[in-house]
């Protein structure tokens, strides 16, 4: 009889502890906003082999506007610009070029309390501001617009205000028409969800 009473008391204690843990978790949960969002980021673009000898890493700016359709799925539009020194054989020397990219993308992710993890990818167009890389056969004469593809991922930290989050992300991109130009675009960004 005492063993049954002890077993019942242990079960009741476990149920009470489980309910208390569930209630405490809900009390401290930080619900993130979802819906329309905007992200602004600063970072760097670094070119991968073939192009890294001809184009130095450079600063980059990113803007992303989108909508969370589900808690784990969003669609958006992304714009990016970066500036690079051309390190091609002389002449010319000290030449710079800008690389502009824009397109659509999708993002899949999930949230673990304050941290969100995601993967993203998409396609669009890229434009190069100069033909300086034509000297090393990365671009052809008169070629300055091409298709671009990107994929990557990152993590995001939600602030106390559920509308704001800081994030860190990196995307690899490929521009097939520019001699299969490949690069990594890394960024630190601020996100605001309406």
- Domains with residue ranges and CATH for the chain: 31-193 (2.40.160.20)
For residue 63, give the nearest of 35, 98, 100 by alpha carbon.
100
DSSP string covering 85-119: EB-PSSSS-S-EEEEEEEEEEEEEEEEETTEEEEE
Query: Which stretches does DSSP call E strand in the chain?
Result: 36-47, 58-70, 73-85, 96-112, 115-128, 145-158, 164-175, 181-193
pTM (whole model) above 0.95: no
For each of the chain's 194 residues, which pLDDT tens digit applies? 555 555 666 566 556 555 555 544 444 455 677 889 999 999 999 999 888 888 999 999 999 999 999 989 999 999 999 999 988 887 777 889 999 999 999 999 999 989 999 999 999 999 999 888 888 888 888 889 999 999 999 999 999 898 999 999 999 999 999 989 999 999 999 999 98
């Amino acid at each position: 009889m005492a063993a049954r009473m002890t077993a019942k008391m242990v079960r009741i204690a476990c149920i009470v502890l489980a309910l208390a843990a569930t209630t405490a978790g809900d009390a401290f949960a930080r619900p993130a906003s979802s819906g329309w969002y905007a992200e602004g980021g600063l970072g760097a673009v670094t070119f991968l082999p073939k192009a890294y000898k001809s184009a130095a890493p450079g600063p980059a700016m990113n803007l992303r506007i989108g909508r969370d359709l589900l808690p784990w799925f969003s669609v958006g539009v992304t714009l990016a610009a970066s500036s690079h020194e051309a390190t091609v054989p002389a002449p010319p020397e000290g030449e710079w070029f800008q690389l502009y990219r824009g397109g659509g993308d999708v993002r899949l992710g999930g949230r673990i309390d304050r941290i969100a993890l995601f993967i993203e990818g998409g396609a669009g167009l890229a434009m190069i501001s100069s033909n300086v890389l034509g000297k090393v056969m990365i671009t052809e004469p008169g070629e300055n617009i091409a298709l671009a593809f990107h994929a990557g991922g990152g993590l995001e930290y939600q602030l106390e205000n559920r509308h704001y989050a800081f994030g860190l992300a990196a995307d690899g991109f490929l521009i097939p028409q520019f001699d299969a130009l490949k690069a990594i675009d890394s960024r630190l960004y601020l996100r605001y969800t309406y």
